[in-house]
Structure formats: C-alpha cells, structure tokens
C-alpha cells in the first residue's frame, strides 16, 4: 500500500509498504478520507512531536474509513462498517481518566498513519475510540470528527450553562483557522453571538457563513485588544474569549478582551518554551478565569459525530481541496501558505479493494 512517511523536518517520502494484518482485537481500516490539520503542519515542520510521534513514521491523524479486516476476538465491528477512529485512546484507569478527564490520561496512546491506504487500529482504539459513522454522513466530513471533538471539549470548558443563564453569550474567537472556524460554527449553532478576529479576510468570510455575528480583521502578531474591545456590545469586553491561534501575543489579547468575571479559554497550543506575562491587578480584581484546554475526550468524539451528521452544520466549508496520498507534502505546504484550510487526502483506486 502507499503511505506518506515522515522522515524528519520537512522530509516526506511516499513509500510502498506492506498492508498490515490485524492481530487479536485489532482492525484494519481502509482509509477513505483523511484530513490535514495544523498539527500535521507542526509535525511536518519539526520532524515529529514529543507526545504523538517519532520519525520515521507514517502520519496523519484525522480519518474515516471502512473496516477492511478484523482480527480474532473483534465482535463489536464487522468488515464493511464505516467508522471513525479517534487519534487517541485513554487507559480509563488512571486518576485523570477516573475523573472524566481522559484527555489528560497518564498513559494516553496516540494513533498516526492516516495518510496511507490502510491503517492498523490497535485493540485499545477499537475498544475505546472507534465509532460507527451515521448513515447520512460522508467520509470527508466524518474525518473532521477529531478536530470537532477537540472543539466540543473546548466548549465544555467554557462553562456556558453558567454564562448563558440570561440568554445567548457574547464570545470572542481569536483565529479563523479550522479550529477557530469550528468554534464559530458550533457556538453560533447554539445561538451565541460570536465575534471572530483574524488577519485573513477570506477566512473571516467563511466565518460569516458559519454564523459569526461579527468579524474583525486584525493585524498579525497581537496587541489588538483595544480594537477588539471596541467591537464588543458595550465596549467592556466579551464574557468569554477563546484563543485558537497558539500565539502568545494573542493569548495576552484574549486575556485583555474579557469583561470582569469573564473566562479565557487558551485553546491554541503555543511553541514550547514561550511565556506570557499577566496583569495581576486585572486578573485579581476582575476575577478572571483563565484556563488551558487540550485535545478531546471519547465523549466529545461521539458528540462530534452527531453534530457533523446535522446537515445544518456546514463543516464542509473547511475542506479546501481533495488530493491523492502522493500530494500530502503539497497539501501541507498549501496550508503553510494559508491557501487552504484543510485538504482531504484520498487514496487512489486501491490495488486490491
Ligand atoms: Zn487534528
Ligand atoms: Zn488514563
């Protein structure tokens, strides 16, 4: 089978490798659609990821497909089933897992290799984070389950039942990449007033289509809190600000853009070793809640599939192009140039179905 092998920083080779055989409890997934993601770009640039993968390795982590074979002992799935496999599987026994915080599992396993014709799904993933795709949902859209699962986990962290007691909430989203846009779509669908800020006018336009009440074209690199405050309903800031950029200067803007009692959700992961300085007076006297939010939980993966199956949820607007496995590097480079939001990688006709 063909697969995109990551060998080091900005080094990918398309290789022919043997189709894996599922062992006990495992399944073989025929990958029908895999989507590229900002994390793949990071991994491509840096030549790996301390938590998720070490080179040389097949990579890609957002996938949907059909079960091509099952190993001995698999009873919950059959050959031909259309499924989504999430890219992580928790242990379910550590203290984090027991508290329902499986994204912080001390022994979280990651799965990579979606930019290939087939993917071997280990037992733990089959048991804990593989899900049937609803009938009316395409493989392309279903592949967005992972990023939407992250976003729904991010929305759970926003404490909306509390902030929304008096009705829809004004929420700022920084960053109109795929994650920021999924936040916009999911929050707008729940009736909230979302303000989206990003330097890219084309992406802001997509944000509008996904339900943003307002968009702000900001300069790159942060220092924009005043501009943003002026756009909030009474100029005092939003109740909730979400960073989906992973840029420390924008984290600071997000913190400076909420009103007293507000919540700041720092969702975009910054580069290792970076820091931000905090206005202690502001945080104390305005009782700000500032939280870091990471990854997804099996529960939000299941929920994401349901949300994606709703035709009103126009996540397909994030899919900029479809390319074959051979074009993975091109696809990632087009993301680096901000020419595409996400690219769907599809195998060409498989030699043996
Ligand atoms: Zn992803
Ligand atoms: Zn655990």
Cα distances from 58 to residues 6, 65, 142, in angstroms, run 6, 17, 21
Distance 226 CA to ligand 1 centre (A): 32
Distance 232 CA to ligand 1 centre (A): 30
pLDDT digits (tens, 9 = 90+) for 149-197: 999 999 999 999 999 999 999 999 999 999 999 999 999 999 999 999 9
- The answer on pLDDT for 351 being more than 70 is no
Q: What single-letter DSSP state applies at residue 327?
A: G
Mean pLDDT for 318-327 is 96
pLDDT digits (tens, 9 = 90+) for 46-64: 999 888 899 999 999 999 9
Distance 298 CA to ligand 2 centre (A): 12
Cβ proximity of 197 and 228 under 8 Å: yes
Question: What's the CA gap between 43 and 9, in Å, rounded?
Answer: 8
Cα distances from 48 to residues 11, 59, 88, 342, in angstroms, run 11, 9, 16, 20
Report H helices in the chain: 38-46, 95-98, 123-128, 139-142, 145-156, 160-163, 178-189, 201-209, 225-231, 248-255, 280-285, 298-309, 328-336
Distance 183 CA to ligand 2 centre (A): 27
Burial 330-349 (b: 16+ CB within 10 A, else e): ebbebbeeeebbbbbbbbee
pLDDT at position 133: 98
Of 229, 223, 227, 264, nearest to 243 (Cα)? 264
pLDDT at position 161: 96
Question: What's the CA gap between 207 and 211, in Å, rounded?
Answer: 6
Q: What is the SS3 assignment for 27-90?
A: EEEEEEEEECCHHHHHHHHHCCECCCECCCEECCCEEEEEEEEECCCCCCCCCCCEEEECCEEC
pLDDT digits (tens, 9 = 90+) for 188-227: 999 999 999 999 999 999 999 999 999 999 999 889 999 9
Distance 259 CA to ligand 1 centre (A): 31
Find residue 4's DSSP bridge partners: 14
Mean pLDDT for 276-305 is 97
pLDDT at position 96: 98
- The answer on pLDDT for 86 being more than 50 is yes
List of domains in the chain: 2-145+296-346 (3.90.180.10), 158-292 (3.40.50.720)
Place of tokens 């929420």: 171
pLDDT at position 349: 46
Which ligand has its closest atom nearest to the C-alpha of 301?
Answer: 1
Question: pTM above the 0.85 mark?
Answer: yes
Please provide the size of the chain in residues. Answer: 353
Distance 39 CA to ligand 1 centre (A): 6
Mean pLDDT for 235-248 is 97
Question: What's the CA gap between 84 and 129, in Å, rounded?
Answer: 8
Which ligand has its closest atom nearest to the C-alpha of 52?
Answer: 1
Distance 335 CA to ligand 1 centre (A): 13
Which ligand has its closest atom nearest to the C-alpha of 296?
Answer: 1
- The answer on pLDDT for 7 being more than 50 is yes
Percent of the chain at pLDDT exceeding 70: 98
pLDDT at position 350: 45
List strands edge to edge, sheet with 57-58: 11-16, 2-8, 57-58
pLDDT at position 51: 83
Distance 97 CA to ligand 2 centre (A): 4
Which ligand has its closest atom nearest to the C-alpha of 94?
Answer: 2
Cβ proximity of 61 and 342 under 8 Å: no
Place of tokens 């942060």: 222
């Amino acid at each position: 089978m063909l697969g995109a092998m990551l060998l080091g920083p900005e080094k990918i080779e398309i290789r022919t490798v043997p189709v894996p055989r599922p062992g006990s409890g495992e399944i073989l997934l025929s990958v029908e659609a895999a989507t590229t993601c900002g994390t793949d770009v990071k991994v491509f640039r840096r030549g790996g990821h301390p938590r998720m993968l070490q080179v040389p390795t097949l990579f890609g982590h957002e996938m949907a497909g059909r079960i091509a074979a099952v190993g001995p002992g698999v009873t919950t799935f059959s050959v031909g089933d259309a499924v989504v496999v999430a890219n992580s599987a928790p242990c379910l026994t550590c203290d984090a897992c027991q508290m329902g915080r499986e994204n912080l599992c001390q022994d979280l396993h990651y799965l990579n290799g979606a930019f290939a014709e087939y993917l071997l799904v280990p037992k733990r993933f089959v048991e804990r984070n593989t899900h049937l795709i609803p009938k009316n949902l395409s493989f392309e859209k279903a592949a967005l389950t992972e990023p939407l699962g992250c976003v729904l986990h991010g929305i759970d962290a926003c404490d909306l039942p509390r902030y929304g007691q008096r009705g829809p909430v004004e929420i700022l989203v920084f960053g109109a990449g795929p994650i920021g846009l999924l936040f916009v779509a999911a929050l707008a669908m729940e009736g909230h007033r979302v303000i989206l800020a990003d330097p890219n006018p084309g992406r802001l336009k997509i944000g509008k289509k996904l339900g943003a009440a307002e968009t702000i074209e900001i300069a790159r690199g942060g220092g924009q809190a005043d501009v943003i405050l002026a756009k909030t309903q009474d100029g005092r800031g939003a109740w909730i600000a979400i960073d989906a950029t992973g840029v420390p200067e924008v984290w600071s803007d997000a913190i400076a853009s909420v009103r007293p009692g507000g919540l700041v959700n720092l969702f975009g992961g910054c580069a290792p070793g970076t820091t931000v300085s905090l206005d202690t007076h502001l945080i104390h006297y305005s009782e700000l809640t500032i939280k870091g939010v990471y990854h997804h939980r099996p529960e939000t993966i299941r929920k994401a599939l349901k949300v994606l199956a709703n035709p009103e949820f126009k996540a397909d607007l994030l899919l900029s192009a479809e390319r074959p496995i051979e074009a993975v590097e091109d696809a990632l480079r087009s993301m680096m140039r901000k020419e595409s939001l996400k690219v769907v990688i599809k195998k060409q006709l498989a030699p043996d179905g």
